[in-house]
């Protein structure tokens, strides 16, 4: 495992574009940084990014961000123009979009746990339920994907788009759901008795959960590997690099990388 860069306040939300560059947030400092596949250097990509947590790229190269400051979902195009796609549900603010996954059609699953934030301009928990939402591919309809979780956090889908994993960090469990053609979820099944902050998946279907380092489970839910990280908390993880074969790990004030034999999937 190699140190990519450190000196941040709290790193989160790593996401790779189609060239293999990896973007991540320094959430308390309200900025997105970029690791370049060309020169192996980290630079500031964008500032004033709504205290973003989770990030994800769509097929067109747009960067989507869970903008925690005002509980919004942003789309950032390649010219860094921002479009607010979601800012409420049925007249109420969301609790705070935390993580997201985009399916092949362009539909977006958004986890919405509640965490107390000193920088928000509203008091208390806006939405009583801590849910997962689904934004339709045309970005016009926001629906409830599931609401029978305590505090949903990390999420990722399988490459074939048939299964969605959601970590319930407060219940210390990770669940799998079947994805229907219209994006709805069914057949909630316990995947493992371990929660997670962020997560990713590789081309063999292994699931990577975070918290105490990185713990890897095969598609049967069997633990097959633990990667220790010398930080108090490991927040998130993704694959990047030219061949999508480097695991990037955000942990506290730092980002680490590890060359793998498996590959990530986009």
The tens-digit pLDDT sequence of the chain (266 residues) is 999 999 999 999 999 999 999 999 999 999 999 999 999 999 999 999 999 999 999 999 999 999 999 999 999 999 999 999 999 999 999 999 999 999 999 999 999 999 998 888 777 899 999 999 999 999 999 999 999 999 999 999 998 999 999 999 999 999 999 999 999 999 999 999 999 999 999 999 999 999 999 999 999 999 999 999 999 999 999 999 999 999 999 999 999 999 999 999 97
Name 175's Cβ contacts closer than 8 Å, sequence gap at least 6.
149, 165, 166, 167, 168, 188, 189, 190, 191
> What pLDDT score does 254 carry?
98
First to last CA, the chain: 23
- Domains of the chain plus CATH, in order, are 2-259 (2.120.10.30)
Give kind and range of the element (H or E) at residue 211: strand 207-211
- The pTM is what? 0.97
Q: What DSSP letter does each residue of 212-231 carry, written as one string?
A: SEEEEE-TTS-EEEEE--SS
Q: What DSSP letter does each residue of 85-154 carry, written as one string?
A: EES-BTTB--S---EEEE-TTS-EEEE------TT-SS-S-SSSS--EEEE-TTS--EEEEE---SSEEE
Nearest-angstrom CA–CA distance, 79 and 75: 11
> What pLDDT score does 13 carry?
97
Backbone CA torsion sign across 169, 171, 172, 178: negative
Nearest-angstrom CA–CA distance, 147 and 133: 9
> What pLDDT score does 78 carry?
95
Integer CA distances (angstroms), 69 to 29, 34, 198, 231, 240, in order: 12, 21, 19, 26, 27
């Amino acid at each position: 495992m190699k140190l990519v860069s450190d000196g941040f306040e709290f790193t989160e939300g790593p996401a790779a574009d189609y060239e293999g560059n990896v973007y991540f947030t320094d959430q308390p400092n309200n900025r997105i940084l970029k690791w370049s596949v060309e020169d192996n250097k980290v630079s500031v990509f964008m500032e004033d990014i709504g205290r973003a947590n989770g990030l994800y790229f769509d097929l067109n190269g747009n960067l989507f961000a869970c903008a925690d400051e005002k509980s919004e979902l942003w789309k950032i195009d390649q010219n860094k123009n921002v479009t607010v796609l979601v800012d409420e549900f049925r007249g109420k603010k969301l609790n705070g979009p935390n993580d997201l996954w985009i399916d092949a059609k362009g539909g977006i699953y958004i986890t919405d746990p509640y965490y107390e934030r000193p920088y928000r301009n509203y008091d208390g928990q806006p939405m009583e339920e801590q849910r997962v939402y689904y934004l339709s591919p045309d970005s016009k309809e926001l629906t409830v994907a599931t609401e029978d979780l305590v505090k949903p956090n990390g999420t990722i889908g399988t490459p074939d788009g048939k299964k969605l994993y959601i970590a319930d960090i407060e219940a210390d469990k990770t669940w799998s759901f079947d994805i229907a053609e219209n994006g709805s979820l069914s057949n909630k099944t316990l995947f493992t008795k371990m929660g997670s902050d962020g997560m990713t998946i590789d081309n063999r279907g292994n699931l990577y959960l975070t918290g105490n380092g990185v713990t890897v489970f095969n598609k049967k839910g069997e633990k097959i590997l633990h990667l220790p990280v010398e930080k108090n908390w490991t927040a998130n993880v993704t694959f990047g690099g030219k061949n999508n074969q480097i695991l990037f790990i955000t942990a506290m004030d730092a980002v680490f990388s590890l060359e793998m034999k498996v590959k990530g999937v986009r």
